[in-house]
Structure 1
Amino acid sequence: MPGPRPTIGPQTFVNFESGQVRPLALSRDGTRLYAVNTPDNRLEIFSVGATLTQVDSVPVGLEPVAVAEDPAGRVWVVNHLSDSVSVVNVTASPARVEQTLWVGDEPRDIVFAGAARERAFVTTARRGQNSPVDPGLNTPGIGRANVWVFDSTNVDDTPGGSPLAILTLFGDRPRPLAVSPDGLNVYAGIFLSGNQTTSIAPDTFIKSPPTTSADGIAQPDTGLIARFAGLSWVDDQLRDVSAYVPFTLPDYDVFEIDAVTLQEKRRVPHVGTILFNMAVNPASGKLYVSNLDSRNSVRFAGVASRADSTVRGHVTEQQISVIDSATVSKRRLNKHLDFSVPIASNVDKSLSVSTVLDMAVSNDGTSLYATAFGSNKLAVYNTQTLEDDSFVPSTTMQIAVSGGGPSGIVLDEARDRAYVHTRFDNGISVIDIAAKTEVLHLELHNPEPAAVRDGRKFLYDATLTSGNGNDSCASCHVFGDTDGLAWDLGEPDETTQPIPNVFIPISPAATPARFHPLKGPMTTQSMRGLRGHGPMHWRGDRTGNNRVGGETLEEAAFKEFNAAFDAFAALGGELNADDMQTFTDFAMGINYPPNPIRQLDNGLIANQIRGEELFNNGVVRIQTGQLEVCRQCHTLNPAAGLFGTRGLSSDNSQPGERNFKIPHFRDQYQKVGMFGFGFNTAPERGPQVRGFSFNHNGATSSNFIIADLGMPQDDLLALRAFLYAFPTESPPILGQQLTFTATNAAQTTSRVSLLIQRGLVQSPVRECDLVAQGVIDGERRGWLMDQGGDFLPDRASGEILTRAELESQVDTADESLTFMCVPWGSGVRIGLDRDLDGILNGDE
């Protein structure tokens, strides 16, 4: 049986594994370096000279991932989990948060553009409790990427701020931003942009060989992956399957926005599958986009000696795409590799770069510096040879970066320096760009436990975990989550295996109760929230059945993925037991973020309440006349850490292989965006932003999901609404903030009251700790609310204050306090005692 359940109790640190986007910024005068401290929820400020000297550390929101300076010298920090932007006055002493701007869900990047670069542009998903934009979860053919625009010259202390505009782009969630050299155009990129592939549901398709397992058992009926080939949709045999795909996928990846009129000017398609960062050449205006192109139309994994294809050693193309006007040129960065030989020589492997994130271009436009996150190096390219594809990979143009996981870069050409953020150890490296060597490395304060710090590299480091340095686990499990794609990764050389998993009594296993190695297309599942949720993979074929010692089922199941290092990344073997244990400890600690659809008070609106009733009480299926009760299979019990599954299996009664693990529902809202065939309704034939949606193969459209139950339309929409608002281990209030000033007290009453209310919740589990941090009487201060609603100070000699007494501390224009709900158990660390040494911050 699965278990034990996730830890339901206070934790001093919770890992969300947020992907950094723009973690460094250099002040315009070159005297200050600003760095986000993602795990410590701070902005770190350094004086720049012959060395880096830290001068301040400013608490901001949860999981800061991007930073930029506005024309007035204030620093804006994007807080990924808090759905906010902290506006920091860095000329004050100490520096302080003047305002917290509320934005949409999961903000990622920020730039300043406009005639005087006075406008802030922030990318977010089209959802979130602080967004006035209808997420349109049941509306086909709409953009689901937002760009929020603020006027940096008009930021007052109105709670949450007031955006100048919220733009919608025809893509799924966005990530990178860039600005033209004149500041008049902004470029926005779609994060998981797709690649014109989709899944087709099982329909007795004749597959390309092999069609049996190695022990001669015929493959069950499965769907297939289709790709758009210019005029039609084709499968791996180039058969026209257009009749099975009613919609279109325009695959718009990069959007150009007029920074003055805020109108979309053009859309650039087919840049890449997963877009990370963008940089503009200041001399030519050409745009560089770091990205992966996923090869999910290639079937099979492992050696696949019985087949003609496999992704082994070549899961993705590592790319920088060059956009010049409307022309896109994709440049393969590892063109030295012969992918027909999956395990490369040591020389070739040393040349590879993996998961290029942030980039910077020299002022004269001749050199591009790229952070190879999965290779622990800084790669330098001559822009001309990159653009014309005549570059030759060379170690002389690669700079080793200690610390691991270089994620951000800024150039300081006046000093011949580059500053590089390293995610693995939460540090900063100083690079001599003339000598091409690292001259200094320092680590930021890091509250992450050893399991996180030691295990992270096994997710991302392609040099460590692959045979040629091209791919890592994160090529598909992007930042520990998903790539939004389906893959047909059966292993033809394997045999069928018995299913040892426990099935729910009302749905025993269908015969034959065996896992077939040719499993057909299945969507990439997240690595979040694994603890307590049973066997892994859609079928539960990582069973965890061979546990040793005190292992949980989930730990043992995760260790069965050790074989994937060779089957996918061509490592030539497996990780040793100690390394796999370290990776397992890391993976078990990744958590889901809050649901952005559910109300901040953890409640439901009317149609979601009706949906919850249907979920609990059941629906009569039109085909059978039988009552089907969702909760009988999909257990929801937050107090026990159950969010849609107990880790058991069932017969799903669908075509083809039928024995599947019962899935959780914490990510349903993320799958909306592919509308196609409906149930007894006309198909949607217009353009969509996603090629994969619901079910294990991603073939079930957003307008078909659960419609086949045959319930009335209002009930159908209500049940979907509840599923989209399904809770996670992180309550909706987590990370939410408000900055309190001497002049906005009357406007902040309701939001502060909400934060206090949620901080006092005891049942079914505690929701959060409430902290208040800011500058009072010229000193940085912090408080933590106790369970009586009073606030404990960050000094042993300080007085415990009531809410009114705390708010009265803010009585001048140069004082402010930011209230924030943080994970239960982390309030002491975040609000009172940063290093948990027993000496409060105010006494150190």
Structure 2
Amino acid sequence: MHRSNAASLLLSALLVLSGAGRAVAQTAYEHFESPQVHPARLTPDGTKLLVANTADSRLSVFSLSSPQTPSLLAEIPVGLEPVSVNARTNDEVWVVNHVSDSISIVSLSQGLVVDTLQVGDEPADVVFAGSPQRAFVTVARRNEVRVYDPTTRALVKTIPLQGEHPRALAVSPSGGSVYAAFALSGNRTTIIPANLAPAQPAPTNSSLPPAPDSGLIVDAKDPNWSTVVRYTMPDNDVVEINAGTQTVTRYFSRVGTVNLGLAVQPTTGTLYVANTDARNLVRFEPTLRGHIVDNRVTRITTGSTPSITPVDLNPGLDYSVLPNATAKSTALAQPTDIVFEASGSNAWVASFGTDRVARIDANGNVVARVEVGPSIGSTVNPRTKRGPRGLALHDASGTLYVVNRISNTLSVVSTSTAAVVREVAVGFDPSPTVIRQGRGFLYDAKLSGNGTASCASCHIDADLDQLAWDLGNPGGNMQAVVDPNTGSFSLHPMKGPMTTQTLKGVKGQNPLHWRGDKASFNDFNGAFAALMGGSQLASADMQAYTDFINTVRLSPNPNRNRDDTLPASFSGGDPRAGENTFLTEQFRSGVTCNGCHTATAGGTNRTLIPASVLQEPQDMKTAHLRNLYQKNNFRKTVGATSLGGFGFTHDGALATLDEFLAQPVFGTFSTDPTRRANLTAYLLCFPTGMAPAVGYSRTVSSANASSTAVSSDVTLLEAQARAGKIDLVLKGKVNGVVRGLYYNPLTRVYDVDAAGASSMTWSQLQSSAASGSSLFTLMGVPPGTGVRMGIDRDADGVLDANE
């Protein structure tokens, strides 16, 4: 929901008014499809199960007094979109909040957050290791692990990593080593630019004209291209960190392309990585059909001479048979988590794509499968899909807990019988029906011909895999596309390599795809048959899928200031000057950047541009600019070490935005390095449509209530709420009672979650915290969601304290 001022928010979002103009309910729900990493863990004594309720931004606490009948004890508000949880003690729990960029430190005995650490963009997981003990946190978007003193909560060290998107963490049996898996590590593939690549082969459809020039996807170590690929790609997949010195010991390569799960065998210390391996070196959609990725567990011995052994989770599958109901009945797709039994002889793997968990032996061989959803065998129903994402094991009772991301439930599995004994809700789920009904279509691998791949095999959690794919079709047909502004276009089916685009924020961006060849998201339906080897969806199902995708939002750009202004300098340029250049200055007569990449419309006017104007081989749609900051890890200068193999533009051939802006098509800008530097800085800070204060949290206690830092944060958050960029909520203990509050931007006071209770000013809240009577956390949340998240959780008009 967007708004221009606070008044329009309240008028459009309120369902009911009570008392002195107090808002009591809103309908808005925003979600970001954040990737759960370790959403479930036990307390050290095994008496409680801790689960991240990502949908409701809470920590669910279950009693395990009867392990196979977990009982929900508490639902504790934490930061925005929690994805991982870990208990440091039986009372102190650290919760990783993906959108809030924070760690919520929770006291179970008090039932609230007692401290908040701001840890950097898109944190993913936390573990405790070393002597003295330290907390290790993966900061995925920054490619870092940050180390904290868990007692003082001070930052001890930041460890930069040579790998893309570190998420899952694990600790060696001795506690001396910490391991992190790079979720989007790539597979050493890169692009040969079109001007250096050989011509595409002749079409097999004789009626087609010759294919347009395009780039070529290659292995960066292919000796045939050593004169072009003069940079190195280490393809680091897992890193080992010395817990004592907090330094990188070594990297492990050639493990997998997308590495989502990581576990350590408890007796040998061998690493097991749940991963998919992309087959993007295979050219053309008909050749890839039904076999897009391999689903694997890779074993890594950790001795002085490590060995790396991938094990296929679907051994012997005949990918040429499509459709293949027999394969669907047993297929394991997109493994996301792995957990070992205490003996180390067996482990359990979550198959997110096919609603199964599998038991594997120490060699990685599948010895049992458990169906966790109602659509068993080859039966498929994405609307009832569970989506097993995270695992926790109560070894003493032989109980496996499976967190189902899509249904937001917990499946309880008996390891002795390899069967589900019950399924319970993780907690309250505020997700609207459109999300619940449509999410499964993104992830259900049974929609493919053999159960091995889904849309999310490439669009990881509705986002990127940081790869390019050549999904052209030599036997296809020309496609006519008409743009009402720029005319008719005829697009060749052999389109060449195209980098994976995010599915986040696509609402209002039609037509879609790099060439604008999809009038709407519904037009991707053909991929279920042509690429995945299954059948197209029924129109109602495809519409449900489209409706779901249209709800997924981009996260805030971390490069912007907290108040949504531009920094004075960034990446060697002045983004404020760059914004002025972008909006007003002409690089050719009558042409500005903003003329096509409209800043107010997400960075695109959605028109198709002729190849002659672009000075490229093909016509292209004006691309949006909102996630350029996520594509900045490709380096192709001679001797460089590059984490990624693809950068900017449709095929990823340009390593930097400066290289892009230096093209002759940009006229006077192309020869002006200062303008290019400023434009680069601005584009890397380009707004995503979600303000940076969304998710930002500050815990206020007697120790800091009177501090300048807290006052500054409150001033900023309240101003952002009045400007309509965020809503502001407060959760915690207020005057000795656990409460929720909502900052009303019209009255400028905090409304309380109890009918008849007096609203509070910030001065009153601050004084109460300073005296020790209150301990609470303030958090910016998406516009339109504040009343629900603050004081009326189920949006039914009855305030939370009166339920």
Give the counterpart letter for 1:298 in structure 2: V
**Whole-Å separation in 1 of the counterparts to 2:396 and 2:438:** 37
For residues 194-233 of structure 1, what are the structure 2 equivalents within 5 Å? Answer: 194-203=186-195, 205-207=197-199, 209-211=201-203, 213=205, 215-229=207-221, 232=223
The CA deviation string for residues 187-209 of structure 1, in whole angstroms up to 9 with x for no partner, is 01212111111112212744463
The within-5 A match list for 1:658-737 is 658-676=618-636, 683-702=637-656, 703-708=658-663, 709-737=669-697
Name the amino acid aligned to 1:742. S
Q: Which amino acid aligns with 1:671?
A: K
Query: How far apart, CA to CA, are the structure 2 residues paired with 1:172 and 1:220?
Result: 32
Instruction: Confirm or deny that 1:68 pairs with 2:70.
Output: no
Give the distance between the partners of 2:686 and 2:201, measured in 1 at CA: 41
Residue 252 (str. 1) matches residue 236 (str. 2): yes
Letter in 1 for 2:764: E
- 1:442 alignment partner, one of 389, 406, 424: 424
1:742 partnered with 2:702: yes
Residue 618 of structure 1 and its aligned partner are, at CA, apart by: 2.6
CA 1:206 to 1:200, structure 2 compared with 1: closer, same or farther past 3 Å?
closer
Equivalent position of 1:242 in the other structure: 226
Q: So what's the TM-score if we normalise by structure 1?
A: 0.86
Q: Distance in 2 between matches of 1:814 and 1:151?
A: 27
- CA distances 1:401-451 after superposition (whole Å, capped 9, x unpaired): 466101111110111111110111111111111011111111121010111
Q: What is the match of residue 777 of structure 2?
A: 818
Structure 1 residue 627: deviation in Å?
6.3
- Is the Cα contact below 8 Å between 1:336 and 1:348 reproduced in 2? no
CA contact (8 A) 1:773 1:782 kept: yes
Q: CA deviation at 1:250?
A: 1.0
CA 1:75–1:22: 2 relative to 1, 3 Å? same
Could you tell me which amino acid in structure 1 is paired with residue 679 of structure 2? Answer: L
Q: Give the secondary-structure state (helix, strand or coil) at the position aligned to 1:537.
A: coil
Does 2:395 correspond to 1:416? no
Matched to 2:146, the amino acid is: W
- Give yes or no for contact 2:466–2:499 (8 Å, CA) kept in 1: yes
Contact 2:700 2:777 in 1 (8 A): yes
Structure 2 residue aligned with 1:617 = 584
2:370 is aligned to 398
Map Cα deviations across residues 772-811 of structure 1 (whole Å, 9 max, x no partner).
1101344320111112321111111110111101222325
Matched to 1:775, the amino acid is: K
Question: How far has the Cα of 1:565 moved from its partner?
Answer: 0.4
1:4 maps to: none
2:503 is aligned with 1:527: yes
Instruction: Name the CA distance, whole Å, in 1 between partners of 2:108 and 2:627.
Output: 38
1:279-327 alpha-carbon deviations (Å, 9 max, x no partner): 000011000011111111111113xxxxxxx110000011111110221
Supply the AA of the counterpart residue of 1:595. N
**Map 1:164-203 → 2, pairs under 5 A:** 164-203=156-195
Instruction: Return the alpha-carbon distance in structure 1 between the equivalents of residues 104 and 422 of structure 2.
Output: 29
Task: Tell me the distance in 1 between the aligned counterparts of 2:343 and 2:662.
Answer: 58
Who is 1:608 aligned against?
A: 575
Which amino acid counterpart does residue 473 of structure 1 have in structure 2? C
State yes or no: 1:78 paired with 2:96: yes
Paired amino acid for 1:276: L
Q: How many residues get paired?
A: 750
Q: Following superposition of structure 1 onto structure 2, how do residues 789-808 of structure 1 map, counting pairs within 5 Å?
A: 789-808=748-767
Structure 2 contact 204–475 (Cα < 8 Å) conserved? no
8 Å Cα contact 1:220-1:656 kept in structure 2? no
Partner of 1:158: none
CA distance in 2, matches of 1:324, 1:737: 41
Distance 1:760 1:795 in 2: 23
- Which residue of structure 1 lines up, in the alignment, with residue 16 of structure 2? none
Corresponding residue of 2:39: 23
Superposed displacement of residue 517, structure 1: 0.2
Distance verdict in 2 for CA 1:290–1:424, change over 3 Å: same
Q: Runs ≥4 in structure 1, deviation > 4 angstroms?
A: 7-11, 811-814
Distance 1:342 1:460, change over 3 A: same
Displacement after TM superposition at 1:334 (Å)? 1.1
* C-alpha spacing 1:204/1:258, structure 2 compared with 1 (3 Å): closer
Change (3 A) 1:329 1:599: same
Q: Which residue of 1 aligns with 2:490?
A: 514
- Residue 578 of structure 1 deviates from its aligned partner by 1.6
Matched residue of 1:290: which SS?
strand
> What is the distance in 2 between the residues matched to 1:316 and 1:541?
25
Q: Is 2:596 the partner of 1:636?
A: no
Q: What secondary structure does 1:75 align onto?
A: strand
Alignment CA distance shift 1:177-1:814 (3 Å): farther
Alpha-carbon distance in structure 1 between the residues aligned to 2:583 and 2:616? 29
Instruction: Tell whether 2:478 aligns with 1:499.
Output: no
Q: 1:566 aligns with which of 523, 529, 533?
A: 529
8 Å contact kept, 1:248–1:688? yes
The within-5 A match list for 1:530-609 is 530-543=506-519, 557-571=520-534, 573-606=535-568, 607-609=574-576
What is the DSSP-based 3-state SS (H/G/I as helix, E as strand, rest coil) of the residue aligned with 1:97? strand
Gaps of 5+ in 2: 1-7, 14-26, 375-384, 569-573, 664-668
Change (3 A) 1:667 1:294: same
Secondary structure of the corresponding residue to residue 243 of structure 1: coil
Contact 1:380 1:397 in 2 (8 A): yes
What is the CA distance between 1:559 and its match in structure 2? 1.2
1:461 counterpart (435, 444, 458): 444
Q: Does 1:122 align with 2:137?
A: yes
Match of 1:276 in 2: 260
* SS at structure 1 position matched to 2:392: strand
Looking at structure 2, the residues matched to 713 and 804 of structure 1 have their Cα atoms a distance apart, in angstroms, of 50
> Secondary structure of 2:784's partner?
coil
Taking only the aligned residue pairs, the percentage that are identical comes to 38
Go from structure 1 to structure 2 and tell me whether the alpha carbon gap of 1:340 and 1:685 turns closer, same or farther (over 3 Å shift).
same
Q: Is the contact made by 2:506 and 2:550 (CA closer than 8 Å) also made in structure 1?
A: yes
CA 1:250–1:501 in structure 2 vs 1: closer, same or farther (change >3 Å)?
same
Report if the CA contact (8 A) 2:372-2:386 is conserved: no
AA aligned opposite 1:479: D
State the 1:374 CA deviation: 0.6
Amino acid at match of 1:336: G
Q: Distance between the aligned counterparts of 1:220 and 1:560, measured in 2?
A: 23
Q: CA RMSD in A?
A: 1.9
TM-score (norm 2): 0.91
What secondary structure does 1:409 align onto? strand
- The answer to whether the Cα contact below 8 Å between 2:35 and 2:83 also exists between their aligned partners in 1 is yes
CA distance in 1, matches of 2:136, 2:90: 16
Question: Within 5 Å, which residues of 2 pair with 1:743-762?
Answer: 743-747=703-707, 748-761=710-723
Hey, what's the Cα distance between the residues in 2 that align with 1:20 and 1:410? 13
Match among 88, 103, 128 for residue 106 of structure 2: 88
Match for 2:558: what amino acid?
P
